[in-house]
Every structure is written in structure tokens, then in C-alpha cells.
């Protein structure tokens, strides 16, 4: 299975094409729309999210609510486009038309300057339109379809926020199912499970905004009930943990990824890291702990996948940083029209969906899947053989 996304942040439309889905499973626009709405929300979002009301149109590959096995195309209209018709139209413009809002002042921490150098764009809008995290709308749309497929296999994916601006949620998720994590995260404006931390995180965000600054954080994704042996140790590009890490790192502003105990493993001995193996006849094999976050040798162990990603503070600051105008070469301090001050809660939803995609994709690679029935049969057989092994 694969997908592409297309679309500029202030252009008319965002699009994704998903190819390789099994035939005969239900995709509902209303389910995708719920996930799109979750991505738009969260404390710390800026003015743009008051304009957009992301709604998906399913334009190919689905008939009467069920996949056909042909490519599925999804589209979301940018409502802000109406404010950017002159700047963002695809028709050539006459020489005497002055395009306002050309960008010659690159923002530190954004793709603006390097993207301009690379593609030869002297209007840096040509860079920022695509480097913007607006694109994550379609990654959530595609990931939402992947989640609908995973749910057919009894696999659930959840996300929540662990840390924002130095405030850490203290919560033990080892006793919670992914569904419970999701339900609790949805109750909170910061998508964190610790109510006290939620209040402190909001206060930190308010403070950062007052200071003209931004803050980052740490998000966590949990996937329950993945069959044993998805991914493979035999080749680097088949290791599922590595693919998940790449997917999380590809989210705008994400700068690090860890599984299970993660970077803490540098501080503790092996006896406190490896997960001891247990067996009983009803459930088959299990682990006493899940310090490794659901992976051994790049393959799923059957324990929950637990992956975290760190998001840097948003680069656009109301207290502007030093940069250089690429036309005049003069130093300046940028002025900002609007920006998110913290998008960590929203980014946790993006992380959930890119992880869901990677898990679903690896499962489809593992088993034959022309139809949903084929896939279900093979997944059930793997679960049974793992138990009996
Ligand atoms: C959900 C989400 C919303 C974001 N909103 C903004 C924003 O409003 N302003 C901004 O400057 N950056 C925002 N970013 C971050 C930039 O897109 C990102 O820093 C930029 O594309 C450069 O990529 P890099 O940080 O990975 O190098 C957001 C990121 C995400 C995931
Ligand atoms: C549009 C979204 O996020 C945008 C991501 C973003 C950036 O630079 O990444 C900058 C902002 O866009 P604008 O400049 O239009 O206000 C955010 O609103 C979205 O998440 O849907």
C-alpha cells in the first residue's frame, strides 16, 4: 500500500491517493472527518484553525461505502483559499499584476531559506506553501483509513501528550488499553491524561504566547493487539520500528523518536531493560514488562507498540528572531501575521495517524489482502500459530 499527498497550504485543495487497499471494507467520510477535526483542535492553535473546517470528499475507489480495491482518492478544500486567490491561483498572471505577500524574509527554523536556495525560488512563498504542516491534514486522512482497516483486525491506535514546555504528565499507561488512553486524551484540551499537568501545560502555553515565544513537547502513540512478527529482522528497510521512526520524524517539527524506555536505556542495566518471556496455554506467549515498546529485531512482539516523538517549539515567533532579507541582504526582525503558539496536542493526532499507516502497511505486506476476508483469515492464522508455537 502506498499514498501520495498534494496541495499547498493556501491553495484550493489538499488531495491524497491511496493505492493497495483490500476490497470490501467500509470507509466512511464521517469517521475521517472526526479525525480531521481532532487534528484541528487542541490548546495552542492559532487563527487559521478558526477559518478551516476540514471535511473530506471521497472521490474515487469507494462505492456504497465499501472499497473497490482500486485507488482511493480523498480531497479536502482549503477554506482560506478565498483570501489568497491572487497569490495562489494556478493560471499565469499578467506582468502588470502585482502579487502581494511575496516572501523574501526567511524564518529561522522553517524550510524557507534552504528550500529557496535548493529550488531557486526567490519568492519564498513557493517553499512555505508546501513545507507547511497544513499537509498533515492528508496524512491524517490517509491514516484514518488505515485505522479503519486496523479496527477490522481488532487493532487500536491511540495518542496522547506526555510533555509540553517542560511540564510532564505523570501517568502509568501500562494498565490502560489504547481505547482507554484515547477516550481520556479526548477529554483534555492538551490531550494529556494527567489533569494537573493539563492545567500547567495550558498555563505554560499562555505564558509563552504572552512572551511572544513558543514551546514544544513530547507525544506518545500506543498500538494494541498487533499480531506477532510484523516487520522483519532480515533487512534494514523491513524493520517496522525503523519505518515507524521515520514516519514520526517526518512530521513537521519532530526532532526525535524513542520506543518503550527509549533514551532512558542509556542509564540502566540490561536486566532492567529486556522484557522477560512468559507462557500460558490460553494466551500463548507474553512479556512480563514492555520496556522495549513492542519490538524485538524490528518485528512486533505482540505487546503494545509504544512510541514517542519530540516536537520542537514552533519556529514562527511573535518575538521575532534575527534573519536576512534575501533581496536586500539587510538584517531584519520578522513580523508575524498569525501562527500556532504550540501545536503539540494537534501533532499528537498526526503522530497517531502516521503510526497507524505504517502498521497497516506492514500488515498488508505480510499477508495476502485482495479482499478484507483474505486478510482477516491470514491475520487470524498468524495469531493462532503464534499461540501454538
Ligand atoms: C500540527 C502542526 C502545526 C504547526 N503549526 C505551525 C505554525 O503555525 N507556525 C509555524 O511556524 N510552524 C508550525 N509548525 C511547524 C512547521 O511546519 C515546521 O517547523 C517547519 O515545516 C520546518 O520543518 P522542521 O521543523 O521539521 O525542520 C507546525 C507543525 C505541526 C505538526
Ligand atoms: C494550516 C495548518 O497549520 C498551519 C501550519 C503552519 C506551518 O508553518 O507549518 C502555519 C500556520 O498556517 P498559516 O500561516 O496559514 O496560519 C498553521 O495554521 C493546519 O494544521 O491545518
Residue 327 Cα to ligand 2 midpoint, Å, equals 25
Contact 246, 309 (CB under 8 A): no
What pLDDT score does 347 carry?
A: 98
> What residue owns the CA closest to ligand 1's atom 19?
253
Residue 100 predicted with pLDDT over 90: no
Nearest CA to ligand 1 atom 1: 347
- pLDDT for position 320: 80
Q: How many distinct structural domains can be found in the chain? A: 1
Going by alpha carbons, the residue nearest to atom 13 of ligand 1 is 314
Distance 213 CA to ligand 1 centre (A): 14
The ligand placed nearest to the CA atom of residue 114 is 1
Q: Give the position, in ligand 2's atom list, of the atom nearest the Cα of 128.
A: 8
Atom number, ligand 1, closest to the C-alpha of residue 251 = 31
Complex confidence, ipTM:
0.99
Tell me whether residue 5 is exposed, middle or buried, using C-beta atoms within 10 angstroms of its C-beta: 0 to 12, 13 to 18, 19 or more.
middle
Could you tell me if the CB of 354 is within 6 A of ligand 1?
no
For residue 93, is pLDDT > 90? no
Q: How far is the CA of 255 from the centre of ligand 1 (A)?
A: 12
pLDDT (average), residues 235-250: 98
Q: How far is the CA of 9 from the centre of ligand 1 (A)?
A: 12
Residue 336's pLDDT band (boundaries 50, 70, 90)? Answer: confident
Q: Which domain holds residue 378?
A: 2-388
**Mean per-residue pLDDT, 340-363:** 97
Q: Which residue has cell 470507509?
A: 27
Q: Which atom of ligand 2 is found nearest the CA of 132? A: 9
Query: Of 47, 88, 107, 134, which is best to mutate to test ligand 2, by the most ligand atoms within 8 angstroms of its C-beta?
Result: 134
In the block, residue with C-alpha cell 483474505: 374
More reliable by pLDDT, 324 or 95: 324
Q: Which residues have C-beta atoms less than 6 Å from ligand 2?
A: 9, 46, 48, 52, 132-134, 137, 252, 338-340
Whether pLDDT at 277 is above 80: yes
pLDDT band at 335 (very low <50, low <70, confident <90, very high): low
Ligand 2 atom closest to 343 (CA)? 20
pLDDT for 92 equals: 83
Indicate the SS3 state at residue 367: coil
Q: In the predicted model, what is the mean pLDDT of residues 20-44?
A: 96
Ligand nearest to the CA of 320: 1
- pLDDT score at 96: 75
Q: What is the pLDDT of residues 176-224, one digit of tens each?
A: 999 999 999 999 999 999 999 999 999 999 999 999 999 999 999 999 9
The enclosing domain of 29 has a CATH number of 3.60.150.10
The per-residue pLDDT for 196 is 97
pLDDT of residue 351 exceeding 90 = yes
Reported confidence tier of residue 35, pLDDT bands at 50, 70, 90: very high
For ligand 1, atom 26, the nearest C-alpha belongs to 253
The closest-lying atom of ligand 2 relative to the alpha carbon of residue 252 is 9
pLDDT tens readout for residues 170-182: 999 999 999 999 9
Give residue 86 CA to ligand 2 midpoint distance, Å.
Answer: 19
Beta strands 13-19 and 277-280: pairing type? unpaired
Confidence of residue 369 (pLDDT cuts 50, 70, 90): very high
- Ligand 1 centroid distance, CA of 364 (Å): 31
- Whether residue 334 is predicted with pLDDT greater than 80 in this model: the reply is no
Q: What is the mean pLDDT of residues 31-38?
A: 98
CB 18 within 8 A of CB 372: no
Q: What is the DSSP letter of 77?
A: E
Average pLDDT for 251-267: 98
Q: How far is CA 74 from CA 56, 143, 361, 377, in A?
A: 6, 12, 18, 28
Q: pLDDT, tens digit, for every residue of 130-172?
A: 999 999 999 999 999 999 999 999 999 999 999 999 999 999 9
CA-nearest residue, atom 18 of ligand 2: 48
The string over 320-346, giving b where at least 16 C-beta atoms fall within 10 Å of a residue's C-beta and e elsewhere, is beebeebeeeeeeebeeeebbbbbbbb
Q: Which of 89 and 327 is assigned the larger pLDDT? A: 327
Q: Which residue has the cell 494556478?
A: 90
Question: CB burial class (10 A; 0-12, 13-18, 19+) of residue 85?
Answer: exposed
Query: Mean pLDDT over all residues of the chain?
Result: 95
The neighbouring-strand residues paired with 123 are none
Q: Which helix (DSSP H) or strand (DSSP E) does residue 207 occupy?
A: helix 195-210
**Whether pLDDT at 95 is above 90:** no
Cα-to-centroid distance, 99 and ligand 1 (Å) = 25
Per-residue pLDDT tens digits for 38-56: 999 999 998 999 999 999 9
Amino acid at each position: 500500500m502506498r499514498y501520495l499527498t498534494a496541495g499547498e497550504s493556501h491553495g484550493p485543495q489538499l488531495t491524497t491517493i491511496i493505492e493497495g487497499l483490500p476490497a470490501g471494507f467500509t470507509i466512511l467520510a464521517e469517521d475521517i472527518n472526526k479525525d480531521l477535526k481532532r487534528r484541528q483542535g487542541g490548546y495552542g492553535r492559532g487563527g487559521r484553525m478558526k477559518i478551516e473546517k476540514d471535511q473530506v470528499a471521497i472521490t474515487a475507489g469507494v462505492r456504497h461505502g465499501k472499497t473497490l480495491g482500486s485507488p482511493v482518492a480523498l480531497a479536502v478544500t482549503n477554506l482560506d483559499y478565498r483570501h489568497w486567490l491572487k497569490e495562489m491561483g494556478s493560471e499565469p498572471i499578467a506582468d502588470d499584476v502585482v502579487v502581494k505577500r511575496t516572501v523574501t524574509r526567511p524564518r529561522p527554523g522553517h524550510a524557507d531559506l534552504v528550500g529557496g536556495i535548493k529550488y531557486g525560488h526567490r519568492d519564498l512563498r513557493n517553499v512555505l506553501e508546501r513545507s507547511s504542516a497544513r499537509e498533515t491534514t492528508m496524512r491524517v486522512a490517509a491514516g484514518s483509513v488505515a485505522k479503519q482497516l486496523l479496527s477490522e483486525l481488532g487493532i487500536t491506535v491511540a495518542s496522547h501528550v506526555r510533555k509540553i514546555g517542560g511540564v510532564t504528565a505523570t501517568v502509568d499507561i501500562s494498565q490502560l488499553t489504547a481505547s482507554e488512553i484515547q477516550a481520556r486524551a479526548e477529554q483534555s484540551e492538551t490531550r494529556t491524561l494527567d489533569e494537573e499537568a493539563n492545567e500547567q501545560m495550558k498555563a505554560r502555553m499562555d505564558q509563552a504566547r504572552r512572551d511572544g515565544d513558543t514551546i514544544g513537547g513530547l507525544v506518545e502513540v500506543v498500538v494494541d493487539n498487533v499480531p506477532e512478527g510484523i516487520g522483519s529482522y532480515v533487512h534494514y528497510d523491513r524493520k517496522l520500528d525503523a519505518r515507524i521512526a521515520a514516519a514520526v520524524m517526518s512530521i513537521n517539527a519532530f526532532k526525535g523518536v524513542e520506543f518503550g524506555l527509549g533514551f532512558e536505556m542509556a542509564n540502566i542495566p540490561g536486566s532492567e531493560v529486556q522484557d522477560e518471556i512468559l507462557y500460558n496455554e490460553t494466551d500463548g506467549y507474553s512479556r512480563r514488562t514492555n520496556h522495549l515498546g513492542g519490538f524485538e529485531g524490528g518485528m512486533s512482539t505482540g505487546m503494545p507498540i509504544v512510541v514517542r516523538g519530540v516536537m520542537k517549539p514552533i519556529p514562527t515567533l511573535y518575538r521575532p528572531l534575527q534573519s536576512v532579507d534575501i533581496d536586500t541582504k539587510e538584517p531584519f526582525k520578522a513580523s508575524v501575521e498569525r501562527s500556532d503558539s504550540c501545536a503539540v496536542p494537534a501533532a499528537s493526532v498526526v503522530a497517531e495517524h502516521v503510526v497507524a499507516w505504517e502498521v497497516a502497511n506492514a500488515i498488508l505486506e505480510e499477508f495476502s489482502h485482495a479482499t478484507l476476508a483474505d486478510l482477516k483469515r491470514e491475520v487470524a492464522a498468524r495469531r493462532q500459530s503464534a499461540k501454538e508455537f
